[in-house]
């Protein structure tokens, strides 16, 4: 099998470079893979697109959610399949797809697993599109992503909790116009998450019923909340216990469009992609990907 590993050496506070060396030293098959090292933002997308065009059967992404997102964008709508070795900060995509934490076990699955067709979420902002494997969002969570991306990179959920607390004291919920499969919602909104996978931000299960192969997007709309109520709700996000809260509305749909009175940032798999207005739509079976048992 023709396989290319795309390694982002600075992912996870430079953990990805160490992870890749461990895989190469302990998993013999990995030594037969071609390897490309990313040099700048967007490079993983370019490398993945070239790999698909040149007939590689499989591309292995070694990095965090941002790296995986770029590789998925490069491989979407092609016969080349994606494998994952997690080496980032939050690693939500890999966790949701049941990828083993141990890099050698992940490499073995990436090399030998049978790919499945997964849905993607297409985000369109100002005539530019981006595909999302996990969760896109706008409002408070995108403001948090803006702050987290400027923090030192530590593993796990700590950076996200710090980002939430820092953002909370500065954020004001704008009035938004949100259309969910033709149904208009107009109100002051704290955040909206549009999900193809259940969790983001280091394990927060914002759309706990989301599945990557059901042809639908799961949407969580959180109305304007007091700061105290946000702090109370935060622990519930790790179990999905926020569902049922009076300020929370859940939807399943094929498309969402949104605009806001004032600035509202938008994130895709933890990376900022612009500001509203934006449109979100499911792209059924757009990516071939190796996953763990789901």
The rounded distance, in Å, linking the Cα atoms of 220 and 139 is 12
Helix H or strand E encompassing 22: helix 11-26
Q: How far apart are the first and last CA of the chain?
A: 25
For the chain, residues classed under CATH 3.40.50.10330 are 3-113
User: Residue 105: helix, strand or coil by DSSP?
Assistant: helix
Q: Give the three-class secondary structure for 165.
A: helix
Rounded (5°) CA angle 294-236-225: 125
Tokens 């949100």, located at residue = 178
Taking only the tens place, the pLDDT of each residue in 117-165 is: 999 999 999 889 999 999 999 998 888 776 666 555 555 556 666 666 6
Share of the chain above pLDDT 70, in %: 93
Residues 142, 266 contacting (CB under 8 angstroms): yes
d(CA 124, CA 130): 7
> Which residues of the chain form CATH 2.60.200.40?
123-285
Whole-number pLDDT of residue 203: 85
Rg (CA), the chain: 18
Q: Which pLDDT score, from 0 to 100, does residue 183 have?
A: 95
Q: Report pLDDT digits (tens) over 208-247.
A: 999 999 999 999 999 999 989 988 888 898 899 999 999 9
123-285 topology per CATH: Tumour Suppressor Smad4 (2.60.200)
Its pTM stands at 0.90
- Whether residue 88 is predicted with pLDDT greater than 70 in this model: the reply is yes
Instruction: Kindly report the CATH number that applies to the domain delimited by 3-113.
Output: 3.40.50.10330
Query: Which of helix, strand or coil describes residue 251?
Result: strand
pLDDT confidence of residue 110: 97
């Amino acid at each position: 099998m023709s396989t290319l590993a795309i390694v982002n050496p600075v992912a996870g506070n430079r953990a990805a470079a160490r992870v890749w060396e461990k895989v190469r030293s302990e998993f013999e098959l990995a030594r037969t893979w071609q390897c490309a090292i990313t040099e700048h933002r967007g490079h993983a997308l370019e490398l993945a697109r070239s790999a698909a065009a040149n007939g590689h059967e499989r591309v292995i992404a070694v990095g965090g959610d941002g790296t995986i997102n770029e590789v998925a964008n490069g491989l979407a709508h092609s016969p080349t399949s994606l494998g994952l070795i997690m080496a980032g900060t939050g690693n939500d995509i890999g966790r949701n797809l049941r990828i083993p934490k141990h890099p050698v076990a992940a490499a073995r699955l990436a090399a030998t697993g049978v790919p499945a067709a997964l849905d993607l979420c297409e985000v369109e902002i100002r005539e530019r599109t981006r595909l999302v494997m996990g969760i896109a969002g706008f409002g408070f969570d995108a403001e948090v992503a803006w702050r987290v991306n400027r923090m030192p990179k530590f593993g796990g959920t700590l950076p996200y909790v710090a980002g939430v607390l820092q953002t909370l004291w500065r954020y004001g919920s704008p009035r938004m116009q949100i259309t969910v499969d033709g149904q208009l919602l107009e109100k002051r909104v704290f955040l909206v998450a549009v999900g193809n996978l259940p969790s983001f931000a280091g394990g927060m299960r914002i759309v706990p019923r989301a599945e990557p192969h059901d042809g639908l997007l799961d949407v969580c709309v959180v109305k304007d909340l007091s700061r105290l109520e946000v702090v109370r709700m935060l622990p519930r996000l790790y179990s999905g216990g926020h569902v049922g809260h009076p300020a929370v509305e859940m939807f399943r749909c094929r498309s969402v469009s949104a605009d806001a009175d004032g600035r509202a940032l938008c994130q895709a798999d933890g990376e900022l992609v612009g500001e509203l207005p934006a449109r979100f739509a499911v792209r059924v079976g757009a990516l071939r990907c190796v996953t763990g048992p789901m």
